[in-house]
Each structure stands twice: as C-alpha cells, then as structure tokens.
Amino acid sequence: MSRSAGHQGVASSWPVLDPLSDVVDSPARARPDSQASPQAVRLTGAHHVDAESNRPRRPSCLSEPPLRDKSDIKSAQTADQCHTVEFDLVHGDTLVFVDLPNIPRDPRKQADCDNIAYRSHSFRVHSGRLLATGSAKFAQMLRQPSQSRIQLRRKMVNRLPQGVHYVLDLTPPSEGDELVFQVTELSLTPGIMAWWRSHRFHGVDPSLVTGHDDVCTCRRQAPGSLDTDGDEELGDINKSSPKATSKRSGETNKRSGETKPVPPTPEQLMQMKSEGDNGLYEPPPFRRIPDYCPIRHRNAIVRLMMLIEGRDVLLDSASRVWTLVALAKMFDCTSVVRDQVTLWIMHGSNTRFIEVLPEEALRVGFAIRNAQVTQCAFRILVNEFAIQEADDDDDARRKLTQTTVFGRRRGECGDELNNLIQHAARALVERVSSIKSQLQSPDLLQDWNIQEWSKLQRLEHLLARRQGPAFHTALDKLRRFMASLPKAVASKLGEAARCWEDNHETLWSMDADRATYVLPKDFERLELILSRMNLVQKLFCPFVWSHLLKHCSWPLYLGPRLTGEPVGRPRFDKMLQEVEDSLRTVILTEPAEVHSRGWIEFLEPSKGINDATVKSPLIDLDQVDWQIKDAILFLTFAWARRDIDPPLNLTRHLLLTLAIDEMKFLPLWAGGFDDGTGGVFESFVPPTDMGPSGPGPAYHTGRTVRSDGPSLCGTLVDDFSDLRLSDGTTAASVNVHDGVSTTRRQGKASTARKVSTASESFMAYGTDYEEARAAVPAEHQAPRGREVMSVDESDSGWDDEQQSPFVLARFRNF
C-alpha cells in the first residue's frame, strides 16, 4: 500500500505534538459553561500541560505548602524591624552611621505598624567582609582620603572608640545630583507597589508578598483589627453591576482553611469595561505606599549591612526586594543579595513576577546577574516588541503606548535595556518575515531541495529549448503544474493563520490567564486582537505553528479529503496527467527531438528507437508530499518552546522562541555575545583572511601568491626603469578574492596597486617592485612567502632567444 493510501491511518498515529489543544487549566479556572465529569476533573488536576512544550503544569492543588502560617508571618515581620540593629551588630572594626531625616512634628509619620518610630542608627561591621564583596565603592570609602573627610565631618578625629579603625557614613545625601540619582533608582514602579495582591490573583505564598511597608498606618486605620491580611485588604469590591458583583463574591476558593476571592473572568472584565468601570478593586489605605520613602531607603541600607554580616533578612514584599536590589547595585555588591532575591522570584507561583512585570524582572536580573530571570524576561519583552514592530501601520510602530497589544501595562527598562530589546526584536522580525516569505515563495520546493522538483526543472529546461506548438503546450501545462505545488504549501499557511477562529476554548483559557493582570479598560478578547494582526504578527503567536504541526498528517497533494479539511484542494493527479498527455503529443509530433540523453529519465525503457513512451507517473507525488511535510515538521518543531525554565505558562499566547540571533544581544553571563565592546550591534564583517595585509609597496592579499621574477642586479633594474618598457606598464587586474595580485605571462604583465584603479607606472623590476619583494611579509604570509621564493622560474618567459638585441647586448656587457 502506498504512503498516500495510508493517509487516513497515519492521521491517528502521526507523532503530533499539539501544544494548544491539550492545555487544561485547574477546575477552579475551568470555563463556567463546561460540564466535566468527576473522572475528567481528577485527570485535569493531575495533568496540566504547558502551552508550548507539553510539559506538565503544576495545578493549584499541588502547589508548594505555605512557607509560614499566618501567625508566624506576623511574628517574623515584627522581629525584622530595624529598631534593634545596635544590639545585634556590636562587633567589628568599622563604625557605620545611618541618620534619619529631620523628625516631623508627628513622629507617627516615621513609625511602623506598631506605632514605633524609627531613629538614627550606629553599629559596627567588619571591614574585611565589606571588602570581600568585591565592591569598589566600599574599597574607596575605606581609603585614607575618604576616611579623613568622614572623621572630620563626624568630629571623630583621634576619638575613635576602642577597636574601631574605620568610620562609614552611609546616610543618603539630602540634596544634589546624587540624591536625584538615588531617588530615581529606588522609586517603586506601579507594578511593584501592586504586587502585594499576587497572593490573591496568582496564588503566591503570602509570606513573600504581603509584607507591609516600613512606614505603615495599618493599626491606626483599622484599630483593634489583628487580621489586616485577610479578605478585607481588597477593600470594597468594585460594584460594577449587581450581577457581576454577586458572581464575583460568590466565586471563592477554599485553600488553607480560608476563603479567598477568585480572579475575575474574561466575561466580568468585558462587562466592567462596557460600563466604564476601570477599577477592579479598592486597596486599603495602608497599601497605598509612596514610590519613594526616606525611611524605606535607610532601613534598606541597614538590611544590606546585616546581609553582609551574615544575618538573615526577611524578604516579604516586592517593594523590599526592589529597594534592596537597587541599593546593592549602588554599592556594587549585588552578589550579597543574589541568592536571596533569586529564591524569592523562583519560589512557586511567584515566578509569575517575570511574566506580569517583565521590565522589572529584567532590571532585577541584570542587577543580580541571574541568567534564568534575565533570559525569561528578555524573551517576553522581545516577543511583545516584535509584534508591534511587525505592524503594517507605520504610525502604530512608532507610537509609544502604555500597554502592549495584549493589554499588559508596560514598565520602564531604561534606555540601555530598551536598546537590547529593540535590536533583538528587529532581528526576530527579520527572521520570521524571511520564513513567511519562504513559505509563500514560488521557489519553495527548490529551497527545500525536493528531489522531484529538480526533475521537473530539468524537464522545463528541455521543453524551453525547443520550438513548436507541441513543446509550447507541454511547457505551459508543466509550468502551471509546477506553480500549483508551492501554492499548496502557501494555502496551508493561510489556513493555519485562520485556525484560531475555531479554538474558542483555548482562547478563553488564555483570556482567563490574562484577566489576572490586565485592567478592565485595557482588556480585549484574544479573538478580536488576532483578527487585527497581519500574518507576520500571527507568527509570533503559537497558533499558526501549532496548526501546521497538528495537520501535517493531512494529505497535501494526494489522498481523499479528511474530516475538517477545507474544500477546494486542486486535483494535482489530474494536472500531472495533463502534463503526461502533452508530453505524449510531443513524442508523436516531434519524435526526433526527444531522442537525446536529457530525455531518458522521462521515458519508459524501450527496445526500439521509435517505441518511446512517457513515464507514468512522471514524478512521485507521494514522495513530494512527504518530503514537504518533513520540512514543515522540522520547521514547526524549531519554533516549539524548549529549555525555558520556568515554563512561563501565563504567557502561552506568546511564542517566546528566540534563536541565537536574538539572544546574542544579552551579556556573556546571560548566554549572549555582548562582551561590552558593542560588536553585537554592528553588522556582520566578513573574515579578513582574504583581504590585503596592508597598504604600501607590499600591498597584497593574504592568499594571493605574488608573482616572482628572475633576480637581476640593481643597475640593470634601474636601466629597465628608465627605459619604461611596454612590458612593465599594464592595466590593473583584480583577482577573484577582491585583493591584489600580479599575473604575468609571456610578453605581458598585469599588476595592481589599488583595487579599483589602474596602475600608473609600476614597472616590472623597477625600484618599487624590488622594494615590495624585499619587504618583510606579515606573520600569516611568512610560509607562503617562502613558497614563492622557491617557485621555478623556468616558465617566467625570460628566454634569451626571445629577447631584443638591445637586451642581449646589455647582458653580455654585464
């Protein structure tokens, strides 16, 4: 049985990896109108599938147990306050001062949750541990000039306590450019300030994100309340409509013995958007923290010193992590916080920090030099910017919007990181556009080296060489058939670009994921977003590749139409039969023209010279079918997610498959090629081993063997130069290496001084020529130079019998 006859059976056994149709979310996130059996629910709870790599997804019921109970969380937060650092850090040879700003009239404005006001600190650390961080900042502060200024300002010259050798004043400046810089670096982004609610919307461990700010008014605003981390932190749920409110309030998730609200559904967000309701929730007042706080700044300095001294520091909020990382970067000691921050980001569901806030994650990843966090955030940002860059509208490409095409609020990376993202995104657009052009190209089968296509090209060449009506008719039918073969692949690509129209369940599950971080006013259904995209933009999403991968088992040229396959597929076997019939007409009308060596592969073996018949079938369409499918299979697998850890399930609507051409813009420590010289941003420079070694008389290419001539005395060379013989002055010649060479044959010499101009008067055996021969070659030319010196000169053309009498006379005199 032929392979085409078995297409129907192959459809069920083909190793198809569909990354989208098998995505099943947890029962709590299942679509409300879907009815799942208890057995199905048990299966979905045990087997979650990653959107692109078919990796198991950990459902919410199997997430990590909480790090601390609620009572332990509060006790740990209380013990972490920076009120008793003087009693903890009492040993060391370095005295550190951290002064608070001017005390306000109301001390509670500088107080913690328990109304305890902060005060200035002075404690001891070890200078050896400061220097062990490798910080150039600490090394400079411990040098004598800086120490003299600090001791003089602190009035401690010759008055240092016993055992103290150094004094550090780490109090932030109160004015000037340095203050502006530090405030800019330490200011919290809106996403960082709102990440406390991730334990509700993303299931993040509360002990990682629910910590209060250093200056907090929770007790004064909720007197007598001991449970300020309960459901009331969401404040007043937005009353968009009675139906939506009752639906949201009715949906709860029992977890760890407490009732928690479930994130809104896409339908609820669309209803809120239609009613002009832009607020999803109203946070409690104590959660509205400022982007910069002087107390938070100074307490972060104290915590950084505690980490350097080997003490434990509680990272219970995104604001604390952000401030600590920024300070460690300022003091050039990010290695101190690298492990703790990495553990904070990579713990359980908190990895969604990378997907929801990729700009902030990229800045943190660059600061602590963590390749895992940096690569994941970089993939998301490059993919999002590439979709914008591939827009057909020039204004849309240049427009800087606050949200991405999928509604996510953009953060701020800074000019340097934005430069990396833009270069990588444009490289990705160029790569995807070239693949799209190749799939739609009429030369597709030639680019993929399809064997039967080469056979058709040879037949086309034979028919085009002959004249006559029969040849012209056969050539037209052949070219029509050849044009239809790549069009079949292009039509498959067009079908794949519309595949999302039937994937309503998959799109809804992706919308449900997006509903956890997209605001109502920015939310749109994926169906509407995809309908506005062009083909190149759709190729940055997994839908097209998934469809091509899933339907590789469908017949391309042969076989019956399968269930679900679009109608209107051309009858390629009929078109091939028409080509064969036209070739039979050629044989009958022009028998003498086809009896040549080139026609043998198209004719059946025959005994007589007049018994030539056309092979049937002329080509193996079944073989063409499977060779093209193998190429498509290889192409789609190349765009599948691999080696992405964490798997980034929340952004499964993005492709995130970057190649080395895009990842090369990252630094070396992040797996890229950027070594700091900026070479990755320059266009490709071809190797210079074929180029010239340098200017001047010794100008010749690295691989061109310079011509050599017989050795003559200096006086004879001078006489030849004075005479300016015709054999010595010729036009320049540039060899195939785009270098410079001298090629001599009998009676003529061709030399070149410059690549694009003629040689003016470079005389054979002249002074310049002799200096060029005597020049010291480059290192890579030394062996070749020795080979040149040993060249046999018997074929140099300098035969005494062929020289003029004048020249022979000069030789006799010599």
For 383-398, the pLDDT digits (tens) are 999 999 998 887 766 6
* Relative orientation angle of helices 621-638 and 572-589, to the nearest 10 degrees: 140
Q: How confident is the model at residue 776 (pLDDT cuts 50, 70, 90)?
A: low
One domain for residues 642 and 788: no
Chain center to CA of 264: 31
Angle, CA 401 vertex, CA 399 and CA 406 arms, to 5°: 115
One domain for residues 301 and 425: no
Which of 346, 372, 390 terminates a domain? The answer is 346
* Relative orientation angle of helices 714-723 and 767-774, to the nearest 10 degrees: 140
Per-residue pLDDT of 728-770, as tens digits, reads 444 444 444 444 444 444 444 444 444 444 444 444 445 565 6
Between CA 788 and CA 708 the distance in angstroms is 7
Q: What is the pLDDT of residue 700?
A: 53
Inter-residue long-range contacts of 74-81, CB under 8 Å, 24+ positions, other chains counted: 76/207, 76/314, 76/316, 77/113, 77/211, 77/212, 77/314, 77/316, 78/114, 79/314, 80/313, 80/314, 80/316, 81/112, 81/116
One domain for residues 457 and 309: no
Which range, 356-365, 683-692, 727-736, 741-750, has the best average confidence (pLDDT)?
A: 356-365
One domain for residues 105 and 26: no
Neighbours of 512 (CB within 10 A): 19
Residue 142 domain-assigned (yes or no): yes
Residue 515 domain-assigned (yes or no): yes
Q: What is the pLDDT of residue 731?
A: 43
One domain for residues 562 and 671: yes
Neighbours of 570 (CB within 10 A): 14
- The 8-class DSSP code of residue 254 comes to E
Maximum pairwise Cα distance, the chain: 124
Residue 355 domain-assigned (yes or no): no
Per-residue pLDDT of 312-333, as tens digits, reads 899 999 999 999 999 999 999 9
Q: What is the pLDDT of residue 779?
A: 60
Assess whether pLDDT exceeds 50 at residue 400: yes
Residue 40 belongs to domain spanning: 7-62
One domain for residues 311 and 403: no
- pTM comes to 0.74
Q: Quickly list DSSP for 261-287.
A: EPPPPHHHHHHHHHTT---SB---GGG
Between CA 797 and CA 703 the distance in angstroms is 24
Between CA 562 and CA 545 the distance in angstroms is 20
Q: How confident is the model at residue 697 (pLDDT cuts 50, 70, 90)?
A: low
Three-state SS at 739: coil
Neighbours of 179 (CB within 10 A): 12
Chain center to CA of 796: 59
Between CA 254 and CA 654 the distance in angstroms is 31
Angle, CA 364 vertex, CA 363 and CA 368 arms, to 5°: 120
Assess whether pLDDT exceeds 70 at residue 98: yes
One domain for residues 426 and 532: yes
One domain for residues 12 and 138: no
Is 381 in contact with 422 (CB distance < 8 Å)? no
One domain for residues 482 and 496: yes
Residue 312 domain-assigned (yes or no): yes
One domain for residues 669 and 785: no
CA distances from 427 to 278, 430, 442 (A): 37, 5, 24
First to last CA, the chain: 90
Region of 568 on the Ramachandran plot (φ > 0 left; ψ -120 to 50 alpha; else beta):
left
Residue 278 domain-assigned (yes or no): no
Per-residue pLDDT of 445-470, as tens digits, reads 999 999 999 999 999 999 998 888 99
Per-residue pLDDT of 271-298, as tens digits, reads 888 888 877 777 888 999 999 999 999 9
Buried-exposed string 98-119: b where 16+ CB fall within 10 A, e elsewhere: bebeeeeeeeeebbbbeeebbe
One domain for residues 501 and 554: yes
Q: What is the pLDDT of residue 10?
A: 35
Of all residues in the chain, what percent carry a pLDDT higher than 90?
Answer: 42
> What is the number of structural domains in the chain?
4
Pairing of β 166-169 and β 94-98: parallel
Assess whether pLDDT exceeds 80 at residue 774: no
**Alpha helix (H) ranges present in 599-696?**
621-638, 660-663
